[in-house]
Amino acid sequence: MLVARGLSKDYASGDRPLTVLHEVSFEIPRGAYVSIVGPSGSGKTTLLGLLAGLDTPSRGSVLLDGTDFSALGEDQRAALRGEKVGFVFQSFQLIPTLTALENVQVPLELRGDTSPADAAARARDLLDRVGLHGRSHHFPTQLSGGEQQRVALARAFVNAPRILFADEPTGNLDGSTGARIVELIEELNRERGTTVVLVTHDASLAERTQRTLRLRDGYVIEDTVRVPSAAGSIPTSLPSASA
């Protein structure tokens, strides 16, 4: 589903570039449930943005469902994201002038292949599923942090994405709300076969995933695959491992 080949990312820093990712390579099969972990500044969020096509690498390439992002223009990348990608931001990224219902409808409206009535019905159903029945006409400022995150999750689900990227999906939430968000993400993975790639600082959340990529200083230093057997986890040190 997802292939990273020699991904590197540089940023300008004084007289010389600052490299925040170094030749990162791996493959993620369809339907996998993967976490990316590491200390602050290790390159996790940068990597997630590159994998989702929200940013472009300085070197290397990303293939999403067989399509090379580097071969596409910005409009084509946006179209591919709209068709196949869901993204949950740590800061929610809701549009403040739209209601919860309208925020969830936005991806369908951008695609333009769903009638307004069908878009509203699908958005309302998803808001019900994330426990926001009766809150659909509230604006983001009228919602708690946990409620805003659930709106963001419903918006990410609305296009039935083939792959979901989530940046610290429980980072701003209390324990019970965070647990519900995790359940919804895992439900999407389990019931629809959606590939899930998430960044997290939460070790207990990472341990729930099938595979963990650990970053340090822009390098993948460990690729742990968990198998459903008494053997438990299998730690490796292969920056370019494939599942």
Model confidence band, residue 243 (pLDDT cutoffs 50, 70, 90): very low
Whether residue 101 contacts residue 120, with contact meaning beta carbons closer than 8 Å, is answered with yes
pLDDT digits (tens, 9 = 90+) for 94-148: 999 999 999 999 988 887 778 888 889 999 998 988 888 889 999 999 998 888 9
For 2-92+165-234, give the CATH class. Answer: alpha beta
Name the residue type at position 102: E
Q: How far apart are CA 162 and CA 58, in angstroms?
A: 26
Edge-to-edge strand ranges of the sheet holding 195-199: 85-88, 163-167, 195-199, 33-37, 211-216, 219-226, 233-234
Q: Which two tokens stand for residue 136?
A: 């659909």
Q: How far apart are CA 201 and CA 168, in angstroms?
A: 7
Length of the chain: 243
Name the residue type at position 139: F
Q: How far apart are CA 177 and CA 25, in angstroms?
A: 34
Other CB atoms within 10 Å distance of the CB of residue 195? 24
pTM: 0.85
pLDDT digits (tens, 9 = 90+) for 49-85: 999 998 999 999 999 999 998 888 888 888 888 888 9
Domain ranges of the chain: 2-92+165-234
Q: Which two tokens stand for residue 83?
A: 């068709």
- Position 178 scores a pLDDT of 79
Model confidence band, residue 233 (pLDDT cutoffs 50, 70, 90): very low
Q: How far apart are CA 150 and CA 179, in angstroms?
A: 12
**58-to-5, 213, 217 alpha-carbon distances in Å:** 12, 21, 17
pLDDT digits (tens, 9 = 90+) for 147-194: 898 899 899 888 888 999 999 888 777 777 778 888 888 888 888 889
Q: What is the mean pLDDT of residues 199-216?
A: 93
